[in-house]
């Protein structure tokens, strides 16, 4: 197993947190992991993306120009990363914020209204976990329970009260693609 994922969106969507959580879950399962965050100078609203590679064997390079998978949470990230996905790859699109459609026949496209689901649960701030739960369920790269067990090691102390809400969001995303 070897999965490359770029998670992309704008600052404030929890893009970096989602990548860090996925990387930690991969480590918990004894897998090889690369986690490479990248974000603009702006605190909120600027671009943010991270690359996560999870593998059963050694990872040769952390650089991913054309990923197998992309999880795109905003329209600008969709425009930037959809054309880069390798043929036979997978795109998970937050259809709450991405309305325009580029056409690609050579990849699997999964649309999830992550913001609407998150708002229904209690906060649009957990849309990242809805999308991550869906992607993890679809790929099987790690188990959702590994993500849940990783929360306490990854989440900042001031957000510990959001653990149950984040877990619910992961489960909702998982159920959306089941």
* 123 Cβ contact list (under 8 Å, min separation 6): 162, 165
* H or E segment and range at residue 26: helix 15-28
pLDDT of residue 102: 79
pLDDT of residue 99: 85
Give the model's confidence band at 12: pLDDT under 50 very low, under 70 low, under 90 confident, else very high. Answer: confident
β partners of residue 36: 51
Q: What is the Cα–Cα distance from 130 to 146, expressed in whole angstroms?
A: 15
pLDDT of residue 163: 84
What is the percentage of the chain residues whose pLDDT exceeds 90? 76
Provide the pairing of β-strand 69-72 with 108-112: unpaired
Q: What is the Cα–Cα distance from 168 to 129, expressed in whole angstroms?
A: 9
Whether residue 24 is predicted with pLDDT greater than 90 in this model: the reply is yes
Q: What is the Cα–Cα distance from 174 to 176, expressed in whole angstroms?
A: 5
Which domains, ranges and CATH numbers included, belong to the chain? 2-176 (3.40.920.10)
Whether residue 98 is predicted with pLDDT greater than 90 in this model: the reply is yes
How far lies 51's CA from each of 1, 20, 36, 147, 164, in Å? 17, 10, 5, 17, 26
pLDDT of residue 72: 97
pLDDT of residue 157: 82
Q: What is the Cα–Cα distance from 57 to 164, expressed in whole angstroms?
A: 33
pLDDT of residue 42: 55
Q: What average pLDDT does the chain have?
A: 92
Whether residue 175 is predicted with pLDDT greater than 90 in this model: the reply is yes
């Amino acid at each position: 197993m070897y999965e490359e994922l770029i998670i992309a969106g704008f600052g404030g969507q929890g893009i970096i947190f989602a990548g860090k959580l996925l990387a930690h879950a991969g480590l918990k399962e004894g897998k090889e992991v690369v986690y490479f965050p990248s974000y603009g100078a702006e605190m909120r609203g600027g671009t943010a993306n991270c690359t996560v590679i999870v593998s059963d064997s050694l990872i040769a390079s952390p650089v991913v120009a054309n990923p197998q998978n992309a999880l795109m949470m905003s329209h600008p990230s969709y425009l930037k990363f959809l054309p880069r996905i390798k043929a036979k790859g997978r795109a998970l699109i937050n259809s709450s914020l991405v309305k325009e459609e580029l056409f690609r026949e050579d990849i699997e496209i999964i649309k999830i209204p992550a913001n609407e689901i998150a708002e229904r649960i209690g906060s649009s701030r957990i849309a990242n976990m809805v999308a991550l739960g869906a992607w993890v369920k679809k790929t099987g790269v790690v188990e959702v329970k590994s993500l849940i067990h990783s929360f306490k090691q990854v989440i900042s102390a001031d957000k510990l009260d959001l653990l149950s809400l984040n877990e619910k969001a992961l489960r909702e995303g998982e159920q959306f693609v089941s």
